Amino acid sequence: MTSLAEPPARVGSLVDQFQFGLDAPICLTWELTYACNLSCVHCLSSSGRRDPRELSTAECKAVIDELERMQVFYVNIGGGEPTVRPDFWELVDYATEHHVGVKFSTNGVKITPEIAEKLAASDYVDVQISLDGATAEVNDVVRGPGSYATALRAMENLAAAGFAGFKISVVVTRQNVGQLDEFKAIADRFGAQLRITRLRPSGRGADVWDELHPTAAQQRELYDWLVARGENVLTGDSFFHLAAFGEALPGLNLCGAGRVVCLIDPVGDVYACPFAIHENFLAGNVRGEGGFQGVWQESELFTDLRKPQTGGACQSCSAYDSCRGGCMAAKFFTGLPLDGPDPECVKGFGEAALSAVSDSPPKPSLDHSHRGRKAKAVPVTIGWGPQQERSAPDRACDESPLAGFRPPAG
Amino acid sequence: MSTNVSAPVFDLDGAWRLHPQVSIRPERFGALLYHFGTRRLSFLKNPTLLAVVRALDTQPTARAACQSAGVPDERIGDYRAALATLADSTMICPQ
C-alpha cells in the first residue's frame, strides 16, 4: 500500500511525476565561487582560482529573491570554498531572512569557534564538512596536506558550540570504501550525520577516476553496507545505479538532472546538475532576461531532459527499472553514450562499453585549477583544427577579413 | 489502498494545524512540504490532500477538513493514513 503523503524513501508513482519536472527545483546547488584554498584531486568543478565574472553581492541577492518567489526551500551552497567569499555570511543571512534555507559545504577552513556559535544559533543553516578519509593518510592524499586536521578542527568547533546534526560529507573512493564504519564513528563522536556520495568523473575527477573509483567488488561491499548500516546515512540519492543489485536504496532512484536538480555556477550559468559542468548541459544564465526562473522553466535543454527517456542499449536489461541507466554525468565524462549503461553498471555492461570507447572522453568546459598545482601537463595544440569544423571567428576585434563569412555549402 | 498492515493512529476528530515551520509548495501532482526545523521534505500526492492540509487550520477537526475538501466518506481512511504520516514527521501538529 502506498500512502498519500510520504517521505522520499517510499515514493512510488512520484518518480513518474518527477520525470516531467517541477515548477522549481527541489535540490538546487549553488556554487558561489571557483576560489578555493585547497586543490582536491577529484574536484568536480575544477576549482582553485576565482573567476572575475563571478556574481556580485547584489546579483546573488537578486537570485535569492527569485528563489524565495519560486519557493525553493533551501539551497546547497558550495564552490570552490564558499566561505572565502568576503560576502559569504552576508549572503547566508540574506537567504535565511528570505525563507531560503542554506546548507553549505566547506572544507572547514573558516569554521572558527565564533562562527560555529553563530551557526549553531540558526535553525535555517546547515553545515556540511567534506572529508574523504577517516584517517589523515587517506584523506590528505586526495584533499591535500593538513586538510584532515582542518576538517576535524571545524567539527570540534561545531560540536563544542552545540551544533547537532551537522553533516560529514564523504566521496566514496577505492581508498576509503573500507573505512565506512570509521566515518560513521567520527560522525557519532561529534553528534553529526554521515553523508556519503558517489565519485564522479567530473572536473578534475576525470583525471583520477580510473585510480579512485571503487572496484566492482567494492561496489557490492558498499551496497551491502548501505543496506545493513545505511539507516540515517545520507546519500544524496547518488548511488541509485547500485539499486540494480536488488533491493532499492532509499531515495528516488532517478537521475534528477534538470528535473528536480540543477546547478548555478559562480558566474551564474545554470547546468543540469552539479556534476555536469560542460557546455552540453548548460541551460542558460541567471543574468539573462528571464532570470533563473526562465532558465528552469523554459530552457530547451531542461525541456528535453524532462521528456520521457528511452533506455537505449539498457532497455532490454532486467535491472533497467531499478537503475534507469545510471548517472548521466558519469557516462558523459567517460565517453559513453547517454542512453547506454553507466560506467559502473553493476551488471558489468559499463566495463564492456568503456573498453569499446575509442575517442577520448569530453573535457570539462572550464578549468579554474590553481596554476602550477596540476599533476599533469596539458597538451597545447595550435592551428585551425579539423578542416570541416573551421569557422572564422567573428568578434569585432578579429583580424581575419573573413570574419563571419561562411562559404556556401557544396 | 486496501490492506492496512498497521492501522495508523491519528485522531480525525482532533483539531490539527500545519506546523509553523513548514512551507507548502503546490505542484502539478499535489504539493511539496518542507519542514525548516527537521529539514525534511515530504510530498502530498494529490491536490485533494493539499486541500485537506490547507483546511486543517480553519476547520475544527481533521474530519471536517476532509469533508470541506470534498473527500467522500468511503475514502476517509486513506486520508487518515496520509495525515498520520504527516503527523509522524511533525509536518502537522495539534492546534
Chain B: residues touching A (Cβ < 8 Å): 1-5, 21, 23, 25, 27-29, 32-34, 36-37, 39-46, 49, 78-79, 81-83, 85-86, 89, 91
Answer with the residue of higher pLDDT: A20 or B87. B87
- pLDDT tens by residue, A95-113: 999 999 999 999 999 999 9
Instruction: pLDDT band for A405, please (50, 70, 90 cuts).
Output: low
Enclosing H/E stretch for A180: helix A180-189
Residue A409 pLDDT > 80: no
How high is the pLDDT of residue A13?
61
Burial of A12 (0-12, 13-18, 19+ CB in 10 A): exposed
Closest by CA to A157, choosing from A195, A110, A125, is A110
Of A37-41, B34-38, B49-53, minimum mean pLDDT range: B34-38
Cα A243–chain centre separation: 20
Interface test with B, best of A4, A26, A103 (most B CBs within 10 A): A4
Closest CA of chain A from B85, distance in Å: 6
**Pair A259, A22: CB distance under 8 Å:** yes
DSSP code string of A226-293: HHHH-TT-B-TTTTGGGGGGSSPPSS--S--BTTTEEEE-TTSEEESSTT--SGGGEEEETTSTTHHH
Closest CA of chain B from A312, distance in Å: 28
- pLDDT tens by residue, A267-299: 999 999 999 999 999 999 999 999 999 999 999
How high is the pLDDT of residue A365?
78
The arithmetic mean of pLDDT across residues A247-252, rounded, is 74
Of A1-10, A232-241, A350-359, minimum mean pLDDT range: A1-10
How high is the pLDDT of residue A243?
87
| Entry pTM | 0.85
Q: Within chain B, what is the greatest distance between any pair of CA atoms? A: 35
- pLDDT tens by residue, A41-83: 999 999 999 999 999 999 999 999 999 999 999 999 999 999 9
Instruction: pLDDT band for A388, please (50, 70, 90 cuts).
Output: very low
How high is the pLDDT of residue A123?
82
Cell 584532515, residue located: A148
- pLDDT tens by residue, B15-41: 999 999 999 999 988 999 999 888 888
How high is the pLDDT of residue A12?
46
The arithmetic mean of pLDDT across residues A150-171, rounded, is 97
Residue A4 and residue B34: Cβ atoms within 8 Å? no
Residue A4 and residue B46: Cβ atoms within 8 Å? yes
Distances in Å between the Cα of B66 and the Cα atoms of A1, A374, B43 are: 20, 62, 18
Instruction: pLDDT band for B8, please (50, 70, 90 cuts).
Output: low
Closest residue in A to B38 (Cα–Cα): A123
Residue A74 and residue B34: Cβ atoms within 8 Å? yes
- pLDDT tens by residue, A339-380: 999 999 999 999 989 998 888 888 877 899 998 765 444 445
Residue B2 and residue A1: Cβ atoms within 8 Å? yes
Task: Name the residue among B5, B28, B49 with its Cβ closest to that of A4.
Answer: B49
Q: What is the C-alpha to C-alpha distance for residues A82 and A367, in angstroms, rounded to an integer?
A: 17
C-alpha cell at A65: 529573491
Interface test with A, best of B2, B10, B19, B27 (most A CBs within 10 A): B27
- pLDDT tens by residue, A303-343: 999 988 778 889 889 888 888 899 999 999 999 999 999 99
Chain A: residues touching B (Cβ < 8 Å): 1-8, 11, 13-14, 17, 20, 22-24, 26, 71, 73-74, 99, 101, 103, 123-124, 126
Instruction: pLDDT band for B1, please (50, 70, 90 cuts).
Output: very low
Size of interface A-B (CB pairs under 8 A): 80
Average pLDDT, chain A: 88
Tell me which chain B residues have a C-beta less than 8 angstroms from the C-beta of A11: 43
Instruction: pLDDT band for A246, please (50, 70, 90 cuts).
Output: confident
Cell 550525520, residue located: A193
**Pair B85, A3: CB distance under 8 Å:** yes
Q: What is the C-alpha to C-alpha distance for residues A382 and A146, in angstroms, rounded to an integer?
A: 39
Residue A101 and residue B1: Cβ atoms within 8 Å? no
Query: pLDDT above 70 covers what percent of chain B?
Result: 92
How high is the pLDDT of residue A255?
84
Tell me which chain A residues have a C-beta less than 8 angstroms from the C-beta of B3: 1
Residue B44 and residue A5: Cβ atoms within 8 Å? yes
Answer with the residue of higher pLDDT: A243 or A187. A187
Cross-sheet strand order for the sheet of A193-198: A193-198, A167-172, A125-130, A101-106, A74-78, A27-31, A261-264, A269-271, A282-285
Of A16-25, A128-137, A389-398, B6-15, minimum mean pLDDT range: A389-398
End-to-end CA distance of chain A: 63
